[in-house]
């Protein structure tokens, strides 16, 4: 869930969105997630993003990651996100999800790249 979304315009005239996200992850990792994502678009139909994430695991440890990707509109003010991240434990992951602007939700999946 996005706890805040800020929009600005960069020097090139692109729209830049800064999102702070929080939620949970389950599967190989289980715990609370905090993330910041910055996305840039010139046409609201497609663009790029960067992200940082911290996962506070149930066992008391923390993993952090950083990554980037692309997004495209899938209608109804929803963006399909696809990206990759490198995690502090050495894991490389691919991610996919849908960000729904109306309710500020992000739902998706992560996959380990081996």
In degrees, to the nearest 5, what angle opens at C-alpha 38 toward C-alphas 37 and 42? 140
What pLDDT shows up at residue 67?
97
Those residues with Cβ within 8 angstroms of residue 60's Cβ, 6 or more apart along the chain or in another chain: none
Give the span between the Cα atoms of 13 and 111, in whole angstroms: 34
Give pLDDT, residue 26: 87
104's tokens: 């500020």
Query: Tell me, what's the pLDDT at 57?
Result: 94
pTM for the model stands at 0.92
The per-residue pLDDT for 62 is 96
Give the pLDDT of residue 27: 84
pLDDT given at position 59: 93
Residues of the chain with pLDDT under 70: none
Predicted confidence at residue 17, as pLDDT, reads 96
């Amino acid at each position: 869930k996005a706890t805040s979304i800020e929009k600005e315009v960069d020097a090139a005239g692109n729209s830049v969105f800064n999102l702070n996200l929080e939620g949970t992850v389950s599967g190989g990792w289980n715990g609370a997630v905090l993330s910041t994502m910055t996305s840039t678009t010139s046409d609201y139909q497609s663009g790029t993003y960067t992200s940082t994430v911290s996962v506070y695991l149930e066992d008391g440890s923390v993993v952090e990651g950083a990554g980037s990707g692309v997004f495209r509109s899938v209608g109804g003010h929803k963006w399909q996100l696809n990206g990759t991240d490198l995690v502090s434990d050495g894991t490389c992951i691919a991610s996919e999800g849908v960000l729904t602007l109306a309710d500020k939700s992000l739902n998706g999946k992560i996959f380990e790249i081996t």
